[in-house]
Amino acid sequence: MQKRKLGNSNLEVSAIGLGCMGMSFSYGPPKDTQEMIALLRAAVDRGITFFDTAEVYGPFLNEELVGEALAPFRGEVAIATKFGFKPASNGESRWSELDSRPEHIKQAVEGSLKRLKVEAIDLLYQHRVDPNVPIEDVAGAVKDLIEAGKVKHFGLSEAGVQTIRRAHAVQPITALQSEYSLWWRKPEAEVIPTLEELGIGFVPYSPLGKGFLTGAIDETTTFDSSDFRSTLPRFTPEALRVNQALIDLLGSIAEQKQATPAQIAIAWLLAQKPWIVPIPGTTKLHRLDENIGAVSVELTPDDLRDIGHAASQITVQGDRYPEKLEQMTGR
Question: Among the options 27, 57, 180, 205, which is catalytic?
Answer: 57
CATH of 3-326, one of 3.40.190.10, 3.30.1360.30, 3.20.20.100, 3.40.50.720: 3.20.20.100
pLDDT tens per residue across all 331 residues of the chain: 999 999 999 999 999 999 999 999 888 789 999 999 999 999 999 999 999 999 999 889 999 999 999 999 999 999 999 999 986 666 555 566 899 999 999 999 999 999 999 999 999 999 999 999 999 999 999 999 999 999 999 999 999 999 999 999 999 999 999 999 998 999 999 999 999 999 999 999 999 999 999 999 999 999 988 888 999 999 999 999 999 999 999 999 999 999 999 999 999 999 999 999 999 999 999 999 999 999 999 999 999 998 988 888 888 889 998 888 888 999 9
pTM higher than 0.85: yes
Cis peptide before 59 (omega within 30 of 0): yes
- To the query of whether residue 321 is one of the catalytic residues in this protein, the response is no
